[in-house]
Each structure stands twice: as C-alpha cells, then as structure tokens.
A and B are shown apart, each in its own frame.
Chain A
Amino acid sequence: AQSVSQHNHHVILSEAASLELGCNYSYGGTVNLFWYVQYPGQHLQLLLKYFSGDPLVKGIKGFEAEFIKSKFSFNLRKPSVQWSDTAEYFCAVKRSSSASKIIFGSGTRLSIRP
C-alpha cells in the first residue's frame, strides 16, 4: 500500500537555524507531492507543491522542497527559521492517476526557540 513517512516527529531549533524535514513515500509511479502546514490554532494550509518540471520548488514564507525521484523523497527546507515557523508540517502524496486520494504523513511538529 502507498505510504508516506516523516521520520522526525518533533524538531526543536533556535531562530536563524537551518531546517530540513524529511519525507519519503513508497509509490513507484508518477506522483504529485505536497507540504501542508498547520500553525497553532489555524487550519491546515498548502505550503508548496510539486507536479512536474524543476524538482526544486519554492513555496510561501521562504520554504522550498526538493523532489529526488531516485530516493522517493521530497524534503522540506528553509535556510533560516523564525519563531513564527512554529507549526506542524505534513508531507502528502497523490498518485497522478488518482483523481482524489491524497495520502498524508503523520506530521512533524516544529518548535522554534526565540
């Protein structure tokens, strides 16, 4: 069965540190990839997505993610985090052939020390 793995359950960083959150998926076909974020007290919202083309995609708030097909990975990065980046981050995958089903990872909670 298709699955999405986020190995870091909780990451704690200081402001200005660099961030990388891991995401691996298990499906071998063509996929669409997403990162969603949930800030405290808010609803889930899209951070960035990859459908095709340049495997390095840029999202809102300075985040970027790189799709490495050979590693089945779509890691999220930010060169310098801010306290306001404290949130829960979810990686998600959709088979290109599936119209509707998006599979989410279990999430990574990011805490930033001011």
Chain B
Amino acid sequence: ETGVTQSPTHLIKTRGQQVTLRCSSQSGHNTVSWYQQALGQGPQFIFQYYREEENGRGNFPPRFSGLQFPNYSSELNVNALELDDSALYLCASSLDNQGNSPLHFGNGTRLTVT
C-alpha cells in the first residue's frame, strides 16, 4: 500500500508570502490531519479534514487554512508568513475521524521563513 506522501520536502519563503503544502493520504484513508512541529517540540495539531470538511481545529490563526479533495488528498495554506512559522509540517491520514484508528504520518515538509 502507498503511504502518506508530502510535497515539497523543503521550502524557503520570505516573511509575508503565502505557501501551499500538499499531502496524499494513504490508500483507503478518508481523514487527514495537519500538524506543525517546531524544532525540539512535539507535533501541534493544526486541523483535521474529513470528507472535504474541517472536522476540528487547534489554536492556530485563520491565516492557516486547508482543503481536502474528493480523492482525500489535502492542502495546507499559510498566508502572511511569519518567522515563527518556520517548522516541519506533518500530514497524517487515518481510517476514521474519531481518533480510533492510528495516524499514519508522512515525512513532512520543512518550511523555512526568512
């Protein structure tokens, strides 16, 4: 089975710019969650999408937004980038939106904001 794939692997942006990160979920998984992992920290929940709708959100401002497509792939968009947005962004897919099945993580996108 194909695992979770994320693109790009690395990205450098300037403060104030906008960025789109992409995620293909594991085959058969209908739920996608996005996490931000700063250096030396654990992953922080940004939001979750289930059947193309946002299904829960962490403490992130509205400039963090997302989409899920009919094939369950997903995008994370961040507007007006700030230096503190520099982090590893992880996508995880799962079989259900209740947290009962394991999260399957991708390798992440490393975003650097200068």
In the complex, the answer to whether B100 meets A45 with C-beta atoms within 8 Å is no
Q: Which of B44, B97, B102 contacts A104 (CB 8 A)?
A: B44
Other-chain residue from A51, A90, A101, A106 in contact with B45 (beta carbon distance below 8 A) = A101
Does B7 lie at the interface of the complex (its beta carbon under 8 Å from any beta carbon of A)? no
Q: Which residue of A lies closest to B44 (CB)?
A: A104
Q: List 18 A-B contacts (CB under 8 A).
A: A32-B99, A44-B43, A44-B103, A45-B105, A51-B100, A99-B48, A99-B55, A99-B99, A100-B33, A100-B50, A101-B48, A103-B45, A104-B35, A104-B43, A104-B44, A105-B42, A106-B42, A107-B42
Is B99's CB under 8 angstroms from A46's CB?
A: no
Q: Which residues of A contact B (CB under 8 A)?
A: 4, 6, 32, 36, 43-46, 49, 51, 90, 92, 94, 98-107
Interchain CA distance A6-B90 in the complex, whole Å:
20
Whether B66 sits at the interface, judged by CB under 8 Å, is: no
Chain B residues lying within 8 Å of A92, measured Cβ to Cβ, are 42
Task: Report which of B47, B100, B102, B106 forms a contact with A43, defined as CB distance below 8 A.
Answer: B106
B56 beta carbon closer than 8 Å to chain A:
yes
Chain B interface mostly helix, strand, loop or mixed? Answer: loop
Interface hits, B73-106 → A, CB 8 Å: 90, 92, 97-100, 102-106
Residues of chain B whose beta carbon lies under 8 Å from any beta carbon of chain A:
3-4, 33, 35, 40-45, 47-48, 50, 55-56, 58, 90, 92, 97-100, 102-108
Residues of B within 8 A of A45 (CB): 102, 104-105
Closest to A41 in B: B107
Which residue of the partner chain, among B90, B97, B107, B108, contacts A100 with CB atoms under 8 Å? B97
**Given A43-B106, A98-B56, A100-B56, are A90 and B97 also a contact pair (CB < 8 Å)?**
no
Add 8 more A-B contacts to A4-B42, A102-B103, A107-B42 (CB < 8 A).
A44-B105, A51-B100, A92-B42, A99-B97, A100-B33, A102-B33, A103-B45, A104-B44
User: How far is the CB of A40 from the nearest CB of chain B, in Å?
Assistant: 12
Q: How far, in whole Å, are A107 and B35 apart by their CA atoms in the complex?
A: 15
Point out the residue from A46, A90, A99, A107 that lies within 8 Å of B102, measured CB to CB: A46
